[in-house]
A and B are shown apart, each in its own frame.
Chain A
Amino acid sequence: MAKKITQKTKNAMPLQDAVARAHNFEEVALGYPVDLAVLEAQRCIQCKNYPCVAGCPVEIDIPKFILQVAERDFEGAFKTLMDRNVLPAICGRVCPQEEQCEVKCTLGVKFEPVAIGRIERFVADYASLVKFTDDTPPAPPTGHKVAVVGSGPAGLTVAADLAKMGHGVTIFEALHKAGGVLVYGIPEFRLPKAIVAGEIEGLKRIGVEIKVNHVIGQTFTVDELFTELGYEAVFIATGAGLPTFPKIPGINLIGVYSANEYLTRSNLMKAYLFPVSDTPTIRGKNVAVIGGGNTAMDAVRTALRLGAENAYLVYRRTRKEMPARLEEVEHAEEEGVKIMMLAAPTAILADERSRVRAMRCIRMELGEPDSSGRRSPVPQKGSEFDIDVDTVVFAIGQGANPLIRNTTPDLPMNKWGNILADDATGATQKPGVFAGGDIVTGGATVISAMGAGRRAARAIDRYLTNPSADGYSPTDV
């Protein structure tokens, strides 16, 4: 039964002051206080078609949890969330709701949509504060064993779903901390690592085993997971773990970083706390980040927090074509990031100690659309100009790490090293091997990786419990 509309606009998210937050790594968005969360939840008119649910890659029962918040049943709301989403505190922070659930919101047709993401975050944070736990016991043990390669969003989701079904799951993580891009890629000020650790503890409580410092492709190959360690299925979720550098002079100078390295030093290794943390990073005074996606935003806002006087985002197209979340671009500009559009680097110039001294750029204009549908940038001859920088970070796309490719020759991949997997099931052409997340799609979002994990868990469960009598065939699942 549809309700009356109480408020046409979203309740604003309390934020850290823009000037202050540009100099600290604390979370930018502070979260709704209880009463604001309830007010926002009451905006939902509980429409009869609930198109929002179809927009959610993990199919959360959105109207139900929002109604529970509106009625102050926060524990109920938490249980509803956890039923479909094992990482609500993470999704509530990093999902592009404006492209998923909120864009479909009925209220959003004429007014601002319900702030579904903010309410989700509120519920997750509230639950953590008062220590609600999801006490739904997992199904009885099935005796089946599954190996998951990678502890990022896809790996964590598939592991949690399979564990709840009663299967034995081990996640193998190459780094020394679990979380994948959630710990090394997304900065503290967008996603506090304590939150990630808390979500991961939740997984361990339902029986997921996590082995860090295990590099699949080196420590064990995929085949050895089957033959030596006795796993019956393997889910590969190794992410976008290969940096991209352009072929221009100067990319090996001191001060030139891939976004992966720049962010890993800061986020995973806490280089912003050096010398308390042993890992250093360059605290550039004039930093240029090349790119226009969320990774570029994260890198340039990190540069500000590391003390940059000038943090430039250099993008070859315009704001309209930027893939980054609008919210991130807005926050970045409020913090003082200077966005230089329609420009791209042609060379990085050195000083006498092989350190970055300046970056030569060329101006672009937009031409015909390319395969992504966006207008192609065309360099304008003779428009070169130099900017004084001491640090350059390339956030122009992250590709597929080669370690699995090099040691699993019978696992079909495309020419960029992405694993070929069925969209609905994650099944690859190698029997018993499934894959999902950025290793399949190329760099995308946390939530789309989670959706892939969810779909693959169902397929793996069918594969384990109903093996085809004729032997494995991808079309069986």
Chain B
Amino acid sequence: MHRILNKEVLAPDVVRFWIEGAHIARKRKPGQFVIIRTSEEGERIPLTIADVDKQRGAISIIVQGVGTSTKRLNELNVGDAILDLAGPLGRATEIHPNARVCCIGGGIGTAVVYPIACGAKALHGQVVAIVGGRTKDFIILEKELLAVVDRVIVTTDDGSAGTKGLVTDALQALLAEGQTFDEVVAVGPLPMMKAVVAVTRPLGIKTTVSLNPLMVDGTGMCGGCRVSVGGEQKFVCVDGPEFDGQLVDFDELAARLRAYGEQEAESLRIYNQRVACQAITT
């Protein structure tokens, strides 16, 4: 039974859940994800496993409520059971020991970068984390990262927390300071990952990104999550979710993410109507 053990709101529409899942927890490595479904008519959606508690047999996920499925998930409470939970899926992050790594998280991407940063530190790496968000309300896991990595730099678009600017500004500032990195890991909205790669490419710094295409089965059976990496076809669910950022065709992925825009909007409209009606009747 995949019962919810803990629920915490981290930011507007961003919820962290701890969920029972001993057989997933015992196997899970940083970088892997689960596929979740919350109802009989529900979609299968992929979510990164942000953290694990092997003693307790539990995993945590951080969910940004953007559309019907994620909003429905965020409505659940402690004690509710998740209908379907499959994992751990995808390949583990390749973490090299003693590496100097810059981990960059943009918005909800920080939830994906956090386990990678933990993994790097566990292998005696030196890790600087850059955490970016639109405003201070959208900065997540700062406290958790401070407890693990060597340095945390916060950036916000409006300057309400940390330095005003983009994560790439902070990265460039670090490089200008003379910092060197063996690897940069960047996870966030596609334009952000693309921008980080633009900074690191001329410097030849290995850059790993984690991709978030649409998925259905998550086991390599349908090809829905296919992306082009270095001109080759890869399935994010079995070959990824992490890839060499220098080789990813971000524009193609951005286009494919728009495949169901109309349907998503219609579904969300109905969901919002339902929520509004419930508010009136309760």
A254 touches B42 (CB 8 A): no
B88 touches A245 (CB 8 A): no
CA distance A245 to B232 in the complex (A): 12
Q: Which of A264-284 contact B (CB under 8 A)?
A: 264-265, 269-270, 273-280, 282
- A243-B221, A261-B216, A277-B41 known; A219 and B264 CB under 8 Å? no
**Which of chain B's residues has its CB closest to A262's CB?**
B222
Q: Which of B39-56 contact A (CB under 8 A)?
A: 39, 41-44
> Which of A83-91, A210-218, A301-309 lies at the binding interface?
A210-218
Chain A CB within 10 Å — which of B24, B44, B217, B238 has the most? B217
Q: Which of A223-260 contact B (CB under 8 A)?
A: 241-243, 245, 251-255, 257-258, 260
Verify if A131 is at the interface (C-beta below 8 Å from B): no
Q: List chain B residues, Cβ under 8 A from A176.
A: 37, 44, 83-84, 86
Verify if A444 is at the interface (C-beta below 8 Å from B): no
Q: List chain A residues, Cβ under 8 A from B267.
A: 274-275, 278, 280
Verify if B194 is at the interface (C-beta below 8 Å from A): no
Contact of B220 among A241, A253, A274 (CB under 8 A): A241
Min CB gap B138→A, angstroms: 26
Is the contact region of chain A dominated by helix, strand, or loop, or is it mixed?
loop
Verify if A220 is at the interface (C-beta below 8 Å from B): yes
Q: List chain B residues, Cβ under 8 A from A41.
A: none
> Which of B129-137, B169-177, B199-207, B253-261 lies at the binding interface?
B253-261
Q: List chain A residues, Cβ under 8 A from B259.
A: 254-255, 282
CA distance A87 to B243 in the complex (A): 43
- A265-B216, A282-B259 known; A213 and B226 CB under 8 Å? no
Verify if B124 is at the interface (C-beta below 8 Å from A): no
Verify if A33 is at the interface (C-beta below 8 Å from B): no
Contact of B221 among A242, A245, A353 (CB under 8 A): A242
Min CB gap A176→B, angstroms: 4
B255 touches A354 (CB 8 A): yes
Min CB gap B147→A, angstroms: 30
- A176-B86, A219-B86, A254-B255 known; A279 and B43 CB under 8 Å? yes
CA distance A403 to B87 in the complex (A): 13
B27 touches A264 (CB 8 A): no
**Which of chain A's residues has its CB closest to B263's CB?**
A280
Min CB gap A316→B, angstroms: 21
Q: List chain B residues, Cβ under 8 A from A278.
A: 39, 41-43, 68-69, 267
CA distance A91 to B108 in the complex (A): 48
Q: List chain A residues, Cβ under 8 A from B224.
A: 257-258, 261
| Proximity string of chain B (222-239) to chain A, C-beta cutoff 8 Å, 1 when within and 0 when not | 111011100001000010
Q: List chain A residues, Cβ under 8 A from B151.
A: none
| Proximity string of chain B (62-104) to chain A, C-beta cutoff 8 Å, 1 when within and 0 when not | 0000001100000000000001111111000000000000000
Verify if B163 is at the interface (C-beta below 8 Å from A): no
| Chain B interface residue count, Cβ-Cβ cutoff 8 angstroms | 42
Q: List chain A residues, Cβ under 8 A from B227.
A: 252
- A219-B86, A278-B41 known; A245 and B223 CB under 8 Å? yes
Q: List chain A residues, Cβ under 8 A from B86.
A: 174-176, 213-215, 219
Q: List chain B residues, Cβ under 8 A from A212.
A: 84
CA distance A292 to B22 in the complex (A): 45
**Which of chain A's residues has its CB closest to B83's CB?**
A176
**Which of chain A's residues has its CB closest to B249's CB?**
A252
Q: Which of B172-214 contact A (CB under 8 A)?
A: none
A269 touches B219 (CB 8 A): no
Verify if A401 is at the interface (C-beta below 8 Å from B): yes
Contact of A401 among B41, B69, B221, B260 (CB under 8 A): B221
Contact of A254 among B44, B68, B256 (CB under 8 A): B256
Verify if B270 is at the interface (C-beta below 8 Å from A): yes
Min CB gap A215→B, angstroms: 6
- A275-B266, A353-B255 known; A241 and B219 CB under 8 Å? yes
Verify if A14 is at the interface (C-beta below 8 Å from B): no
Verify if B144 is at the interface (C-beta below 8 Å from A): no
| Proximity string of chain A (329-364) to chain B, C-beta cutoff 8 Å, 1 when within and 0 when not | 000000000000000000000000110000000000
Verify if A402 is at the interface (C-beta below 8 Å from B): yes
Q: List chain B residues, Cβ under 8 A from A220.
A: 23, 27
Min CB gap B271→A, angstroms: 9
B89 touches A218 (CB 8 A): yes
Contact of A258 among B223, B260, B270 (CB under 8 A): B223
**Which of chain B's residues has its CB closest to A221's CB?**
B27
CA distance A401 to B267 in the complex (A): 32
B-side residues, CB < 8 A to A, are: 23-24, 27, 37, 39, 41-44, 68-69, 83-89, 216-217, 219-224, 226-228, 233, 238, 252, 255-256, 258-260, 263-264, 266-267, 270
Since A218-B27, A274-B267 are in contact, a sample of 19 more A-B pairs with Cβ atoms closer than 8 Å, ordered by chain A residue number, is A175-B86, A213-B85, A213-B86, A215-B89, A219-B24, A219-B87, A242-B220, A252-B226, A254-B258, A254-B259, A258-B223, A261-B222, A261-B223, A264-B216, A278-B39, A279-B44, A402-B238, A403-B219, A403-B220
